[in-house]
Amino acid sequence: MKPSLLLKFSAFGLSTIMFRRKKVIWGTIILTDKCNLSCKHCAVNNITATIYPYEQIQGEMQSLYKMGVRILFFCGGETFLWSDGGKNLRDLVVEAKRMGFLLVNVVTNGTFPLNLPEADLILLSLDGGRDTHASIRGETYDEILKNIRGATSDKKECCRVIEILTKRGYPIFNLTSAFPYLVNNDFKTPCFQCVVMENGNLRVIGDMLRTYLKYI
Ligand code: SF4
């Protein structure tokens, strides 16, 4: 991350904490609920298998930008399945950058070739070791490892390894200070700085947490 961006986000974080502001900076757009996997824990895949149209997503990007969102995530379903009118996921990333989002990130299950040089961050899903992963997500582990290596088998061990790699200077997005909360599942919710947009509807992060916490 560029030092100027880091400064900008640090100032936002500090002023949020100091003045208890509820201004949004992080937004998510769900591109589709269509997915090529059927993970055991999943409550959202292929409910309608709708690929949302390009113009609608473009409108959602504009809405989020006007609200103040500068860190944008594209989520699914499986984001690499999204295409509309000859445009694909990479076109959405490029368009988001053009609009002025400072960080544009993509969440994927990792089973498709990662051809997104313009994305700032690509998050892939690996659930522990090969057998555990396969029991949850099917036989996709080796395919995903073509893109990412060194998975560990539980959250604590995973956080330990990430912390070591962070100290070695790897470009890792996670905050090591947040790991104890992740491991113990005792982080506070909701987070007023995040919003989720799906099919033209704005949903606060609390809705998402209420849905997903049932499956933890
Ligand atoms: S990859 Fe994601 S969207 Fe697809 S089934 Fe698994 S958890 Fe659900």
Residue 76 CB–ligand 1 contact under 6 Å: yes
pLDDT-derived band at 151 (thresholds 50, 70, 90) equals: very low
Quote the pLDDT of residue 208.
Answer: 55
**pLDDT above 60 (res 216):** no
Contact 40, 136 (CB under 8 A): yes
Rounded Cα–Cα distance for residues 140 and 65 (Å): 35
Write the pLDDT tens digit of every residue in 45-66.
Answer: 999 999 999 999 999 999 999 9
| Ligand 1 center to 38 CA (angstroms) | 6
Distances (CA, A) of 91 to 14, 82, 97, 149, 167: 34, 10, 10, 27, 34
Q: Write down the domain spans for the chain.
A: 22-150, 187-216
Q: Of all residues in the chain, what percent carry a pLDDT higher than 90?
A: 44
CB 37 near ligand 1, within 6 Å: yes
3-state DSSP assignment of residue 111: coil
Per-residue pLDDT averaged across 118-131, rounded?
A: 87
Q: How far apart are CA 216 and CA 193, in angstroms?
A: 22
Strand order from edge to edge, sheet including 103-108: 121-124, 103-108, 71-75, 26-30, 194-198, 201-204
Q: Is the pLDDT of residue 127 over 90?
A: no
Question: Is domain 22-150 given the CATH code 3.20.20.70 in the classification?
Answer: yes
Looking at per-residue pLDDT, the higher value among 104 and 152 belongs to: 104
Q: Are 144 and 126 in contact, with CB atoms under 8 Å apart? A: yes
Q: 153-182: per-residue pLDDT in tens?
A: 366 777 888 889 988 888 776 777 777 777
Q: How many CA atoms lie within 13 A of 19 on its CB side?
A: 9
Closest approach atom of ligand 1 to CA 43: 8
Residue nearest to atom 1 of ligand 1 (CA): 109
**Mean pLDDT confidence for 134-157:** 73
CA distance 102 to 143: 30
Residues with Cβ within 8 Å of 94's Cβ and at least 6 positions away in sequence, in order, are 118
CA 37 to ligand 1: nearest atom: 5
**69 and 24 Cβ atoms separated by less than 8 Å:** yes
C-beta of 45 in contact with ligand 1 (< 6 A): yes
The dihedral region occupied by 214, where left means phi > 0, alpha psi between -120 and 50, and beta the remainder, is alpha
Phi, psi for 87 (deg, rounded to 5): -100, 150
Report the residue among 78, 107, 111 best suited for mutation to probe ligand 1: largest number of ligand atoms under 8 A from its CB: 78
Reported as type and span, the H/E element at residue 123 is strand 121-124
pLDDT digits (tens, 9 = 90+) for 59-97: 999 999 999 999 999 999 999 999 999 999 999 999 999
Quote the ligand 1 centre to 112 CA distance (angstroms).
13
pLDDT at 82 (0 to 100): 98
